Amino acid sequence: MANMVQRGIQSLRTALGCSKFGAFRYYTPPVSSSLQQVYEPPAYRYACVLSCNCIQLSFFVLFNKIRIWTSKLGMSGEGLKKEEGYPCSIAHTQCIKAANACDDEYASLDWDNLEFGLMPTDYMYMMKCSKDENFKQGQLSRFGNIELSPSAGVLNYGQGILEGTKAYRKENGSLLLFRPDQHAIRMKIGAERMCMPSPSIGQFIDAVKQTAFANKRWVPPPGKGSLYMRPLLIGTGPILGLAPATEYTFLVYASPVANYFKGGMAPLNFYIEDEFTRACPGGAGAVKSISNYAPALKALLRAKDRGFSDVLYLDSVNKKFLEEASACNVFILKGNLISTPATNGTILAGITRKSIIDIARDLGYQVKEQAILVDELLDADEVFCTGTAIGVAPVGGVTYQGRRIQFRVDNDSVCQELHTTLVGIQTGLIEDKKGWTVEIH
């Protein structure tokens, strides 16, 4: 294999007329057994980092193929060293940088007509552990199917948690993540409730950063959307009786998405659901569990069939206090007071919700987290919702027991002010004084 590498170097030297190359590093990337049937089998890869006239060439020699990427990185050669730890090794990082740099800056998409839907990208991130261990170093792999036993805990008992976060492209080309630490903390809290091991906060953030960077060409141009990333924590080990799974998988995949509202903030039209409830006291309503979402489909689809955007759920005990919508938190405005239902165990503590509370207070509004009666909602000046997917979205009207109420929606609304401020911070147009964003170069 070493002779093959040396012959490759000599061939490149001859073809390019170059005389100076750096030494090469080599390493063995671990490949999970579940991916070997879909992707390349594990093999020793010799990553040659070469420099010539400020052109860096990084190439892998696998037993049956050679890939060459070129990029104007202006890096010097690296010393000979063997490493394990794909994809965190310097060699792999440089390979991804080179691959991204030599490809088109953006994927070949019609960014002006991008939809808010699933569009698979190049890479996903994955790591595993047993129920009695901590997660170790994970790896990037090509996006594709994963292998599961029919008796996997997630399939039989719904033992799984999801998150949703975004990467935004700044005008200078770098990427911004918004509060990934808060998503990591929420996953850890949920994992404890679901009897699952979870990645550390650092592991979570690193996984999201790697996924965003590896899929950088899929991050929409500034103002065209974002790269939506879905971290998943699922019980993949086989079980029969009701018990925690024996093995767990943490993975992150990504999809470019358009802004939820294209061409302006279209108001939502809500139906207040008084038959079905989303959560009950003592349950798992405050956890972003995968098992919380399928039960909401019945009410959601029924509302959509009647022309509504979504449903607003009421509490399960009295059915007169607001809870939340299918996948977002709700706020009401009356005068200078902004109110939102308190997170009392039945409502998901949204990261966008938390951010908007802080932003609103900074802008001089009074904010209360408290129980909100339906009648208070119907008497509100404005109503809006928050979530990772929608950001801050105005509610134009609600229907409750046959009564239709309209709310203020215009460019001078409080909702619009909050939306503009939030998006400005997320995209780097407004100074982030709170340290919420993480920049990836």
Q: Which pTM does this prediction carry?
A: 0.78
Q: Are the C-beta atoms of residues 251 and 126 closer than 8 Å to each other?
A: yes
Given 97, 170, 288, 434, which residue is catalytic? 288
Averaged confidence pLDDT in the chain: 82
Tokens found for residue 123: 């890479």
Helix, strand, or coil (residue 282): coil
Top-level CATH class of 268-427?
alpha beta
More confident residue, 41 or 239: 239
The pLDDT score that the predictor gives to residue 69 is: 35
Residue 126 CB neighbours (<10 A) = 19
Tokens found for residue 320: 């007169």
For the chain, the first-to-last Cα distance in angstroms comes to: 34
- Confidence category of residue 260, pLDDT binned at 50, 70, 90: confident
DSSP 301: H
Residue 422, phi then psi, degrees to nearest 5: -60, -50
Q: Domain limits of the chain?
A: 2-102, 112-257, 268-427
Q: Are the C-beta atoms of residues 162 and 229 closer than 8 Å to each other?
A: no
Q: What is the pLDDT of residues 91-118, one digit of tens each?
A: 344 344 434 443 568 999 999 999 989 9
CATH 3.50.50.60 fits 112-257, yes or no: no
Quick check: 316 pLDDT over 90? yes
64-68, 130-134, 202-206, 422-426: least confident range: 64-68
Q: What is the pLDDT of residues 44-57, one digit of tens each?
A: 333 333 333 333 33
Count Cα neighbours of 422 within 13 Å in the Cβ-side half-sphere.
26
Give dist(CA 269, CA 277) in Å, integer. 19
Instruction: Determine whether 288 is an active site residue.
Output: yes
Give dist(CA 129, CA 147) in Å, integer. 15
105-109, 164-168, 189-193, 379-383: least confident range: 105-109
Closest residue by Cα to residue 73 from 45, 93, 47: 93
The pLDDT score that the predictor gives to residue 266 is: 84
Name beta bridge partners: 438.
177
The pLDDT score that the predictor gives to residue 259 is: 82
User: Tell me, what amino acid is at 93?
Assistant: T
